[in-house]
Structure formats: C-alpha cells, structure tokens
Amino acid sequence: MPKGPQVRIPKTARKGEVVPVKTKIGHPMETGWRKGKDGTPVARNRINRFVCAFNGEDVFKSDFDAGVAADPYLAFFVKVEESGRFEFTWVEDGGRAYTRSASIVVT
C-alpha cells in the first residue's frame, strides 16, 4: 500500500517570488520484469505521470518511463504572482491517481 504523497512549499511568498516546490510519493513500484513465488510475472505498477497545477493552471508536468525510482522525489521552482492553491497529482499504471494540495499566501 502506498505511503502516500508528501509536498513541501513555503506558507508565504512575496509577489513575483520564485518559490521551491518539493514532492515525494511513497509507492510500491513494480517493474513488470519480476516473477512471483508461483513463477508468474508480477504486473507492472509504477508512477508514470506527475502534474502540478496552481490555481487551476498546470505549472509543471512530467511523464516517467521505466527508469523511474521507487518513491519518486521531484524538486522544482514556481513563480507566484498571487495567493492560491497548488494541486499535485501522481498517476500510476492502471490509472489510479494520488493527490495532495497546499496553499500559499502571497503578500
């Protein structure tokens, strides 16, 4: 079972400031190459897409391929002009999505 997503952003920023955004999701990644105890292949299950939106507008997106690490960690920067809400979405094979949100106050 996934340990769940974690996000870290500053609580406040000045208008026009570039702020760091850090994310991590604990996830039981499976490559699809391993075999189970009975010899049958274990189905591939990995995070394959990440999207960060701010006030409804995508500000960062990433598609992951087979080389993605277990529990993927991402760090990036976003310029904020107004207070708002970040929405984070991780999508795994099969379509299941995990979400988190965080707000920032811009002065």
88 forms beta bridges with: 52, 100
Helix, strand, coil percentages for the chain (3-state, nearest 5): 0, 60, 40
CA-to-CA dists, residue 69 to 6, 28, 62, 72, 102, angstroms: 16, 10, 14, 5, 24
pLDDT of residue 69: 80
pLDDT of residue 57: 97
> Which helix (H) or strand (E) covers residue 29, if one does?
none
Q: What mean pLDDT comes out for the span 65-80?
A: 90
Q: Which domains are assigned to the chain?
A: 4-34+41-106 (2.60.40.10)
Q: What's the pLDDT tens digit per position in 16-29?
A: 999 999 999 988 77
